[in-house]
Amino acid sequence: MAMDSGRGMMMMAFMAVLVVLISSLNATSGHVQEAAAAASSAAAKEGEEADRILSLPGQPRVPFRQFSGYVAVHEAAGRALFYWLTEAYSDPTSKPLVVWLNGGPGCSSVAYGASEEIGPFRINKTASGLYLNKFSWNTAANLLFLETPAGVGFSYSNRSSDLLDTGDRCTAEDSLEFLVRWMERFPRYKGREVYLTGESYAGHYVPQLARQIMAHNLKPKHSIINLRGIMVGNAVTDNYYDNMGTVTYWWSHAMISDRTYEQLMSTCDFRRQKESNECESVYSYAMDQEFGNIDQYNIYAPPCNSSEGSAASRRQSIRLPHRPRHGKILRQISGYDPCTEKYAETYYNRPDVQRALHANTTKIPYKWTACSEVLNRNWNDTEVSILPIYREMIAGGLRVWVFSGDVDSVVPVTATRYSLAQLKLATKIPWYPWYVKKQVGGWTEVYEGLTFATVRGAGHEVPLFKPRAALQLFKSFLRGKPLPKS
């Protein structure tokens, strides 16, 4: 997730289209209607059965069902998005559908969300097997991991120029198209409660997709997507307030000197997409001379050992912010543990794993990577502020939760607090510590229309660092109840 930004930017089917024949046949007999309904449900069943995952290489036995495959989203270009559905452990038909997105832009929710954060499986160190994540979010909901936009992970476009011409807008449009067509393949999810979740640059994707769904639902003759709410973590929200909050975090956590802090505040114009050279050089000084070799995604964690593997060290160099590349400044904000993602890169490039997942069926001409540098570098459009969409979501009655792991210095808690403060929401339940297993999990405040919560001691990828607390947060969110006071 790197966003260019000059710093100013925070930086940072075949589709069983069940044509709605039936309604147009309203003059025909009930018998014909029943036959048509049975035929279309059989067709849908066939569609989803082709996507059924029997077992992944090295996978422990599990009681839930899994499906994965492609949904075409644009015929002319030949764009198809890859998804992986892990249904709930128990009673999946009564549980909501939760979509999870990672950020980047360009990073994969299979790599991060599914394999390191909220998914049921973790990949072991030799990438030869999987083991169970005890705090998987599919203990509470059906999880749909979507690799978006085309060019991320296994999602592809047959028109290669698409990878150089994508951005926030295309991501939201294709993701909506995906959801609409996916529901046709899985009719049992039609009308189901849907929640959108994600982290980091998905702070753009999730609200933008929510806005797209709300607009879709207003159009006549469309099947409605029953969107109920969204939840985002360490979310890129507003370039200006995020940048200001990030610099403030660095200073308040003693990562930079008073002098550097003052110079950043006086020379940078945090509203600009592209900062002045003078400002950039202060950023470089802070990062190169003052930060030291820390993991910026969790400032108190040991950094990944670069001797431990080429993928990890390569990733590390890509994600360093404020390193000019191709005339732009890259800033990775997808969030990940640089030590663990290389297992994913080994595992998901295995031909047997790809076969089991019904992935890469068209011989994509490049390897599967956790983040696409090409997309990241060529990201064309990015909204400067997502706050207006928060106002729309709140007005639309969606449940809106925002959380923040408080030891992340990439999209830190101060950035999120400065951004959310602009909404000027009335407080419903004043600031209090919330608990998980008798420990303070973090702090929370409930506003009219929005719940904010921190996760104490968690880095950028909250469910990776604090899995038990993250699951508590998820369950409270789904119930629509404030976090536990004890």
Ligand X SMILES: *[C@@H]1O[C@H](CO)[C@@H](O)[C@H](O)[C@H]1NC(C)=O
Among positions 329-388, residues that touch ligand X (CB under 6 A) are 354, 360, 362-364, 366-368, 378, 380
CA dist 243 and 257 (Å) reads 17
CA angle 44, 216, 379 (to 5 degrees): 95
DSSP 484: P
Least distance in angstroms from the C-beta of 189 to ligand X: 22
Q: Which tokens sit at 193?
A: 């409660």
When CB distances to ligand X are compared, the closest residue is 129
Least distance in angstroms from the C-beta of 75 to ligand X: 6
The DSSP bridge partners found for residue 232 are 198, 402
Burial zone of 301 (CB within 10 Å; 0-12 exposed, 13-18 middle, 19+ buried)? middle
Backbone φ and ψ for 349, nearest 5 degrees, come out as -90, -5
Should residue 129 be labelled a site residue for ligand X when binding is judged by CB under 6 A?
yes
Should residue 439 be labelled a site residue for ligand X when binding is judged by CB under 6 A?
no
Least distance in angstroms from the C-beta of 156 to ligand X: 7
Should residue 301 be labelled a site residue for ligand X when binding is judged by CB under 6 A?
no
Should residue 50 be labelled a site residue for ligand X when binding is judged by CB under 6 A?
no
Per-position DSSP letters for 448-461, written without gaps between them:
TTEEEEEETT--SS
User: Choosing from 109, 115, 200, 409, which is the catalytic residue?
Assistant: 200
Per-residue x/- track, 144-183, ligand X (CB under 6 A):
----------x---x-----xx------------------
* 216 a catalytic residue: no
Pick 169 or 253: Cβ nearer ligand X:
169
Return the H-helix or E-strand segment holding 473: helix 467-479
Q: Which stretch binds ligand X (CB under 6 A): 225-233, 256-264, 276-284, 299-307?
A: 299-307
Print burial letters for 195-233: b (CB count within 10 Å at least 16), e (below 16).
Answer: bbbbbbbbbbbbbbbbbbbbebeeeeeeeebbbebbbbb
User: Choosing from 168, 406, 460, 476, which is the catalytic residue?
Assistant: 460
Least distance in angstroms from the C-beta of 30 to ligand X: 38
The DSSP bridge partners found for residue 71 are 81
Least distance in angstroms from the C-beta of 427 to ligand X: 41
Least distance in angstroms from the C-beta of 155 to ligand X: 9
Pick 78 or 396: Cβ nearer ligand X:
78
Per-residue x/- track, 62-81, ligand X (CB under 6 A):
----------x-----xxx-
Cβ(389)–Cβ(207) under 8 Å? yes
Should residue 266 be labelled a site residue for ligand X when binding is judged by CB under 6 A?
no
CA dist 220 and 170 (Å) reads 23
Instruction: Report the DSSP pairing between strands 399-405 and 227-233.
Output: parallel
Q: Site for ligand X (CB under 6 A): which residue of 6, 47, 58, 198?
A: 58
Catalytic positions, written as ranges? 200, 408, 460
